[in-house]
Amino acid sequence: MVGDVREIEPMELLPPPAPAVRPAATVEQVIADEEAWVEKRRAALAGAEGVAFVTATSRAALGTSEEPRTEPDAARFRRGRGGTSVGRAVHSVLQAVDLTTQEGLENLARAQAAAEGISQRAAEVARLARRACESEPVRRAIASGRLWREVPIGAPSGDVVLEGFIDLLFETPEGYEIVDYKTDAVREGEMEGRMDHYRVQGEAYAELVRAITGKTPVAVSFVFVLTGRVVRIVPAATAAEPV
């Protein structure tokens, strides 16, 4: 039932490992195990320094020829990643609001609009967020009972790390589906050209989900909140993947 929807933590994408069975350890063994873990973690962090990364969004904007980056970048981990103040506010509302009831949406919109310095546009933020909540892909996500929001995801892609945040990921009997909210204004005549870029982004998200779960998502839906239009693409499966 729609009312029974449960949002799931990203770690639940994969089954948890079986618990290890070991005899009761001495204090000395516990300390030694902890020191070994700390050293292993330190080595892993040192090995990760300088790893080149590419984001799904920048791959879409700049094409696959984007120069990979290695420097720390706080914006990589920022929530509400719309390209404008309104876009960021809308994404932030959709990250927090109860998608089923939309209770408190206006209050969230006012708070996020104020945080972005656009308090005068709070009603617009609320209207766009509500339109996204009422879109067909989001309603199906709610009905699925298994959904994740603002999913941080990353995986090796060739000689770089591909990473990104998925606005909404949900699972149906047919497989995983991805929803990406678009807050930019796109005229009808511009849609085809814009989708050339967004398909690259959608395929990048699909590649990441496939790397983590072993399965290609069945669809990526782009929800254009200004108009309510939804464009759905079907990612290409790999040759080795079972149909």
Check residue 12 and give its pLDDT. 57
Domains of the chain, CATH where assigned:
51-62+73-233 (3.90.320.10)
Check residue 69 and give its pLDDT. 47
Q: Residue holding tokens 């050293």?
A: 39
* C-alpha 9, offset from chain centre: 12
Bridge partners of 176? Answer: 171
Check residue 70 and give its pLDDT. 44
Query: Which stretches within the chain are classed as H helix?
Result: 27-48, 56-62, 85-96, 105-115, 122-133, 136-144, 191-213
Residues 6+ apart with CB under 8 A from 115: 89, 92
Check residue 187 and give its pLDDT. 74
Check residue 142 and give its pLDDT. 96
pLDDT along the chain (243 residues), means of 10: 52 57 70 86 69 66 47 43 81 94 95 95 96 96 94 79 89 95 81 83 91 92 92 77 51
Check residue 77 and give its pLDDT. 41
Tokens, residue 163: 């990473």
What is the rounded CA–CA span in Å between residue 225 and residue 135?
Answer: 9
- To 10 degrees, what angle do helices 105-115 and 85-96 make? 140
Check residue 197 and give its pLDDT. 84
Nearest of 238, 241, 235, 211 to residue 221 by alpha carbon: 235
Counting beta carbons within 10 angstroms of the beta carbon of residue 129, is it exposed (0 to 12), middle (13 to 18) or buried (19 or more)?
Answer: buried
Check residue 78 and give its pLDDT. 44
Q: Are strands 160-172 and 146-157 parallel, antiparallel or unpaired?
A: antiparallel
Check residue 117 and give its pLDDT. 94
